[in-house]
Structure 1
Amino acid sequence: MTALLEVNALRKHFPIRSGLLGLETAKVYAVDGVTFDINRGETLSLVGESGCGKSTVGRAILRLFPLTDGEVYLDGERIDNMPAGRMRAMRRRVQVVFQDPFSSLNPRMRVRDILAEPLINFGMAKSRRDLDERVAQLMDQVHLPREAVHRFPHEFSGGQRQRIGIARALAPGADLIICDEAVSALDVSVKAQIINLLAELQDRLGLTLLFISHDLATVEHLTHRVAVMYLGKIVELADRRALFGQAHHPYTRALLSAVPVPDPTARRKRMILTGDVPSPINPPSGCKFHTRCPFVFDRCRIEEPVLRPVGDDRGHVAACHLDSVPDAVPAAA
């Protein structure tokens, strides 16, 4: 499989300014050296607690703000420094589905106009009849009735609005869709329907997805690979089965231990983390996770671990100094 998207050493630091002159006094290290790739037709899930930088990664790929450092390649072509005049073609190929389906849709536009807008912008309809037919096909793809195109966003439920958001992302023929917490605002049953829809569209259209979420239970049913982020860095990256079956990093294990178990009689060892996530303005030295890790030792406080192969799967990497992580948390923790 060939990589559609490649992200190399991506960094995004936001300056903090103060005083009358607006001088920079500190930085927020939102994303601090993230590297991954996504193959064609694959779903990579980017997961982690709120504030870990996963949404910033998605927006950096979309070029919603300039990067501090790093490189982004789409289909082998570098896009992070692409001139504005050439960005239009890239915009058509990379689309996004936002978290809140209501605020991401223009409340004054009917669904027909919302879906027609990207088709018109990219010159993808030859006539009004062709435009209407393409809009109707988009409604079919997301399983909404064609006659609903004459309604406004407020006349739909949350799940239906998210289907409209997905249809809008599909409209220009996108190769890559970034789903930024696309199901976190939905009810459980509706969330499952949207996940199934995305899986169906991926199979039918060969879509490539970057699925950003904090919910590992949701991720398990959609993804091919998972990248776990903590404080601006990827701490573990693995195939879905390897990560959910043999997670290596203590942070990943803590996240997995918090996922609800369908069987109420089943017992699971919880790994409860103490303390709060450190500030991205002043991250700790060494391993960023050492302030909360129950297995911390001296090396963790001094030397920052790098991603290295772990486990039996060739693509399974983790940033941890431990060769193996104990199943039990030390009593002193």
Structure 2
Amino acid sequence: MSATPILEVKDLKKHFVIQGNAVKAVDGISLHVMPGETLSLVGESGCGKSTVGRAILRLVDLTGGEVVLDGQRIDRLSTTALRPIRQRMQVVFQDPFSSLNPRMRVGDILAEPIRNFGLAEDAADLEARIARLLDTVSLPKDASGRLPHEFSGGQRQRIGIARALAAEPSVIICDEAVSALDVSVKAQIVNLLQDLQRELGLALLFISHDLAIVEHMTHRIAVMYLGKIVEVATRERAFMSPKHPYTYALLSAVPVPEPGRARTRIVLKGDVPSPMNPPKGCRFHTRCPFTFERCRTEEPKLRSVAPGQEAACHLHDLPATENPLPSRAHERAQPWCQ
């Protein structure tokens, strides 16, 4: 794996102005994705995950920050200059039906990005590429002549994945790509994405709230709360030894294969504050069971707290014997989801 990120985001901000007030959907986050890596961006609904993906793709304008793709800054490019860049970064949307044109046959849907980026030499090459794409995502060849409504949800998502692959990208952003699917179909799509990643060397930014799926497929995880990233860690560190109370609370709510197994729960109280008026200090302090005075006045910085792990939490400035964040060592010797 290369030592240089294929995708890098620096201090990304996206604020929406509603009736004169700024909604700070994304308020200064930084992350990177390495070639061939899956970085999962997780958090509760409304935390800003999907806005991050759309801002990276330039589907919405940035309020601030930088987006760097393969060493090239793309956040300030004009529409014309951005066009060839879009070939290298594609997206799979959450809803596999509304993201496909219902009036276009599957063959035409897959042909569109191939034509847009001039990838086919002639009509025969175009047809061959479409056939290979259908085979890659395990759809029959006759799917090319059918309309999206003739397929199941899982099959439509395969079409969406094939459309993303048609442009021959190096990065794919999966925005809740499996959340609308049945459990068994989710597993099939996740396995497909993993196979494609191994075969093609794709980098994936996997946006999700399903931690069971994330644990199965990710290399690293970034946890987001109210427009900020509160923890970044390798999969093993995040699931075995979370260093932020919010991450711990999310993981403690995941069902485990043995319901009777001893576990420590962190039950969050209250509602998520409004991104229009986020709390001062740590944004999580209004719901955190371990809040102390510093949390209410000083915003914690995301910093290294263990090898392969960063967290934005003042608890790590306390002596180890005074840190109230529970240890997971006694709960299980394996990750949360098998």
Normalising by structure 2, what TM-score? 0.93
| 1:11 maps to which of 10, 13, 32 | 13
* 1:260 matches 2:255: yes
**1:181-220 alignment runs, 5 A limit:** 181-220=176-215
Equivalent position amino acid for 1:44 in 2: L
* 2:320 equivalent in structure 1: none
1:53 aligned residue: 48
Tell me whether 1:179 sits opposite 2:174 in the alignment: yes
Q: Cα deviations across residues 34-85 of structure 1 (Å, max 9, x unaligned)?
A: 0011100100000000000010000000001211110010001000001222
State the 1:145 CA deviation. Answer: 1.1
Q: Which of the numbers 4, 20, 32 marks the counterpart of 1:2? A: 4
How many angstroms apart in 2 are the aligned matches of 1:250 and 1:88? 42
Partner of 1:43: 38
Asked if 2 retains the 8 angstrom alpha-carbon contact of 1:248 and 1:325, the reply is: no
Query: Conserved in 2, the CA contact under 8 Å of 1:249 and 1:325?
Result: no
5+ long unaligned stretches in structure 2: 317-322, 328-338
Q: How far apart are the structure 2 equivalents of 1:265 and 1:187? A: 26
Cα distance in 1, alignment partners of residues 141 and 297 from structure 2: 60
Partner in structure 1 of residue 144 of structure 2:
149
Tell me which residue corresponds to 1:317.
Answer: 310
Say whether the 8 Å CA contact 1:50–1:214 is kept in structure 2: yes
Return the TM-score normalized by structure 1.
0.94
Contact 1:163–1:194 under 8 Å retained in 2? yes
Q: Distance in 1 between matches of 2:226 and 2:89?
A: 26
For the residues of structure 2 that align with 1:264 and 1:102, how far apart are their CA atoms? 36
Instruction: Provide the rounded CA distance (Å) in 2 between the counterparts of 1:325 and 1:74.
Output: 40
Q: Contact 1:101 / 1:162 at 8 angstroms: preserved in 2?
A: yes
Q: What does the per-residue CA deviation read over 1:223-242, in whole Å, with 9 as the maximum and x for residues that have no partner?
A: 10000000000000000000
Q: Which residue of 2 aligns with 1:129?
A: 124
**Aligned length in residues:** 319
Query: By how many angstroms is 1:265 displaced?
Result: 3.2
SS of residue in 2 equivalent to 1:210: strand
Other structure's SS at 2:288 match: coil
- 1:278 counterpart residue number: 273
Q: Counterpart amino acid of 2:326?
A: D
Could you tell me how far 1:325 is from its partner in structure 2?
Answer: 4.2
Q: d(CA) in 2 for partners of 1:326 and 1:240? A: 19
Task: Return the alpha-carbon distance in structure 1 between the equivalents of residues 255 and 47 of structure 2.
Answer: 22
Q: Counterpart of 1:194 in 2: which secondary structure?
A: helix
Shift of 1:86: 1.2
SS of 1:322 mapped into structure 2? helix
Structure 1 gap segments, 5+ residues each: 18-24, 329-333
Distance 1:212 1:279 in 2: 21
The answer to whether the Cα contact below 8 Å between 2:245 and 2:325 also exists between their aligned partners in 1 is: no
Q: Please, which of 36, 60, 71 is the counterpart of residue 66 of structure 2?
A: 71
Q: Distance in 2 between matches of 1:325 and 1:104?
A: 45
Distance 1:325-1:36 versus aligned 2 partners, 3 A rule: farther
Spell out, residue by residue over 1:191-231, the C-alpha distance to the aligned partner (whole angstroms, 9 max, x if none).
00000000000000000000000111110011100000000
Which amino acid is the alignment partner of residue 284 of structure 2? F
* Distance in structure 2 (CA, Å) of the matches to 1:82 and 1:76: 14
SS in 2 for 1:147: helix
Structure 1 runs (4+) deviating above 6 angstroms are: none
**Is the Cα contact below 8 Å between 1:30 and 1:231 reproduced in 2?**
yes
Distance of 2:68 and 2:143 partners within structure 1: 38
- Contact kept, 8 Å, 2:90 with 2:173, in 1: the verdict is yes
Identity of aligned residues (%): 67
Aligned residue for 1:104, secondary structure, equals: coil
Deviation of 1:26 (Å): 1.1
Select 1:105's aligned residue among 82, 100, 107. Answer: 100
Q: Secondary structure at the match of 1:310?
A: strand
